[in-house]
Structure 1
Amino acid sequence: MAFREKYSDFFQNLNEEHFNEERFVPAVGPEDAEVMMVGEAPGENEVEQGEPFVGRAGKKLNEILKDIDTDRSEIYITNLVKIRPPENRDPKKKGIRAWKPLLEKEIEEVDPDMVLTLGNFASKELLEKKKGITSMHGRIFSREGRKIMPIYHPAATLYDQSKTPELEKDLRKAFGKEETGQTSLKDLQQ
């Protein structure tokens, strides 16, 4: 079932000022995923391709997922706000409030073991905290019995490469692939 059809009740009640078909990007991934990633909002490349995290930040994310032997196709990937904000600006509070009920419904439906919030907007909104991503990343929080881990947005690593090892470390932790400092049998076989 298509995303818009599945959540048709939400879309019927969404105020027109918060929806633009041409800038809309639905979620992708299995609806029974163990891990859900929540970004901020789609960018230009995402709108063009109709999928979250396909631009430069998405390529960086894919690279790190590959490095930690994790298949992106097993992750449910969505955004806090499902339309690209005008001029690629940050989402406004009013827009976030309009789209948050849909995200809550997605989380309920997918029922992942872990929700990874990418960057400040998704992290602050889902955890209802004022702290920034720098102080929260890599920590596992519980909200209504669900594990939520804020991580750096992959775009942050494009501007500050020193965040790349932190993002990789957090993703390893989220997917249970933390480095132990020991050589594994898998490493020896390669």
Structure 2
Amino acid sequence: MSYTMSVDRVIQLSRCDDFPEATIRQMFAAHKATELPLPVLATLEIPLSVKVFLALQDEFFSPEEFRELAVQFAKRAAAHDTAVAGNHFVTSALAAYDQLLTQSRAKAVQGVLAKAAMQVSGYRAAVKAMIQPDANGGVKPALQAVAAYEAVWFAGYETNGIACRNAASCAVAAVPKPQADAELQWVLKEAVDKTLARAA
């Protein structure tokens, strides 16, 4: 795995009229490179939302790193709402994610991993139920709270890259709109820090 993204891939993923191909190629040319690692890509003059999208692509992370980031994003999203953060099923799901990560890193035996995965599955189902109107006396939670619940639910999704990207999106949606750019910046920083920790 190279942990870099090519200029052609950046162009492919960020096609839009306001961010033309020529501009992207000039940025890469300024670095005298056709491929860049995430810490450098994160410094380019690319719109923040596009940069975050690029930063969470498969080129940059292993499945385990994606899972770790997804859990970080879910914890951050839950922390924005006291009702979500204090919900038993949310805290249990997050603890189950941490336990599964720890056991996976330690290469625990299959039986232990299977039990931890079952716990994750059960708590995720309970978290998903919290978003349904009938689980709250017929009242659906506010949109930001729903986003926080969904971030926790997505963090346990089977496909690590998708889990990470969706948890990140929900973490951003879990804050009021004026705070969205700051949250996007935080997501980008966490992604960059993850790659720097690998290199340390």
What TM-score, normalized by structure 2, do the two folds share?
A: 0.25
TM-score (norm 1): 0.26
The structure richer in helix per residue is 2
